[in-house]
């Protein structure tokens, strides 16, 4: 019995010692984790946002006195402000592409606010939708062809930013003429002119903000206006960057081609670049060759010497 007690005492001492040693070893690590957690909490705060009372699209005011409109606008400001990675990318890309889009809008009588429509449509990338719309302006194949864009296996001018922007302008001017409102014209870019016209007739209203619409088109104008507000007021919404952080468009020269090109890799090498660089600047060239059966004149952009190989 005495031996058993001694054994139990020894076992107890071993357990207590092990616990103490473990506690001593874990203590600093646990303390460090707790301190790190406190630092994160102290540096990370999420704030409610004030919805500016003077928000508008193309000079057409949003009726923010309407509680439904106010709440929907508040939602999009919150979503786009706190999706920081995407927001920062939009600032970077806008610096690169808005200078190309803005003058084309102006030349075609389209308000500058429509540049934000391209941000919503594609994130300023050559996106492809599940329905088959492509490019910055998400143009469908039939719409592109109807408006003079070349679309085939060799060439798809929906990926040509300048030409696609002109097609978007043509559509928007027609929609403005039909609806008498830039807001409804923008909404129809998402839902189609017939789609918006039918909803206006069914619901016996004449304003976008009075329509009951599906999720995508119902959020469409609020998302555009939210991005307009954020992109124009970066510091107000917590985005911090320098001019050097933003992307810039690479200067190019245009080379005219009126014959077939059998190999764009060899073509690119003549100008001191590779096929990848050629494609970056000419995404509308869809294959590594150009048939050009009808000897059409194409303008291919070549980056100025030394940009990629200084």
Name the DSSP letter for residue 164.
H
Overall size of the chain counted in residues = 310
* pLDDT for position 309: 79
Q: Measured between alpha carbons, how far is 150 from 143 in angstroms, rounded to an integer?
A: 11
* pLDDT for position 46: 84
Q: How many CB atoms lie within 10 A of CB 100?
A: 14
* pLDDT for position 19: 46
Name the DSSP letter for residue 47.
-
Written as one string, the DSSP assignment of 251-299 is PEEEEEE-S-BS-HHHHHHTTT--HHHHHHH-TTB-SSSB--TT---EE
CA-based nearest residue to 272, from 308, 235, 224, 231: 308
* pLDDT for position 301: 98
Decide yes or no: CATH 3.30.420.40 for domain 56-245: no
CA quadruple 161, 164, 170, 172: dihedral sign:
negative
Q: Measured between alpha carbons, how far is 129 from 137 in angstroms, rounded to an integer?
A: 11
Tokens of 173: 């001017």
Where in the chain are the domains?
56-245, 252-303
Contact 62, 124 (CB under 8 A): no
**Chain centre to alpha carbon of residue 180:** 28
pLDDT along the chain (310 residues), means of 10: 51 51 53 59 78 97 98 98 96 98 99 98 98 97 96 98 98 98 98 98 98 98 98 96 96 97 98 97 98 96 88
pTM over 0.95: no
Tokens of 190: 């998402």
Q: Measured between alpha carbons, how far is 14 from 12 in angstroms, rounded to an integer?
A: 5
pLDDT digits (tens, 9 = 90+) for 118-167: 999 999 999 999 999 999 999 999 999 999 999 999 999 999 999 999 99
Q: How many CB atoms lie within 10 A of CB 78?
A: 16
pLDDT digits (tens, 9 = 90+) for 258-299: 999 999 999 999 999 999 999 999 999 999 999 999 999 999
């Amino acid at each position: 019995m005495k031996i058993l007690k001694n054994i139990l005492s020894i076992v107890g001492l071993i357990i207590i010692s092990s616990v103490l040693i473990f506690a001593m070893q874990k203590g600093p690590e646990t303390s460090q984790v707790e301190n790190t957690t406190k630092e994160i909490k102290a540096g990370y705060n999420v704030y409610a946002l004030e919805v500016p009372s003077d928000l508008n699209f193309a000079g057409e005011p949003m009726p923010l006195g309407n509680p439904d409109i106010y709440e929907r606008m508040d939602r999009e400001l919150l979503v786009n402000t706190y999706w920081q990675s995407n927001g920062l990318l939009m600032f970077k890309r806008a610096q690169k592409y808005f200078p190309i889009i803005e003058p084309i809008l102006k030349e075609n009588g389209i308000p500058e606010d429509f540049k934000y429509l391209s941000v919503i449509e594609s994130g300023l990338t050559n996106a492809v939708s599940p329905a088959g719309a492509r490019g910055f302006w998400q143009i469908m194949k039939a719409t592109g062809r109807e408006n003079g864009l070349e679309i085939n296996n060799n060439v798809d001018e929906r990926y040509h930013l300048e030409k696609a922007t002109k097609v978007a302008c043509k559509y928007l001017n027609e929609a403005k003429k039909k609806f008498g409102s830039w807001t409804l014209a923008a909404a129809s870019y998402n839902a189609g002119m017939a789609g918006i016209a039918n909803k206006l007739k069914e619901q016996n209203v004449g304003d976008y903000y009075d329509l009951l619409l599906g999720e995508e088109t119902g959020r469409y104008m609020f998302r555009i206006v939210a991005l307009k507000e954020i992109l124009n007021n970066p510091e107000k919404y917590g985005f911090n960057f320098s001019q050097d952080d933003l992307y810039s468009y690479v200067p190019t020269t245009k080379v005219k081609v009126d014959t077939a090109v059998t190999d764009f890799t060899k073509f690119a090498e003549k100008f001191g670049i590779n096929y990848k660089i050629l494609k970056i600047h000419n995404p509308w060239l869809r294959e590594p060759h150009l048939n050009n059966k009808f000897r059409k004149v194409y303008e291919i952009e070549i980056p100025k010497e030394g940009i990629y190989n200084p």
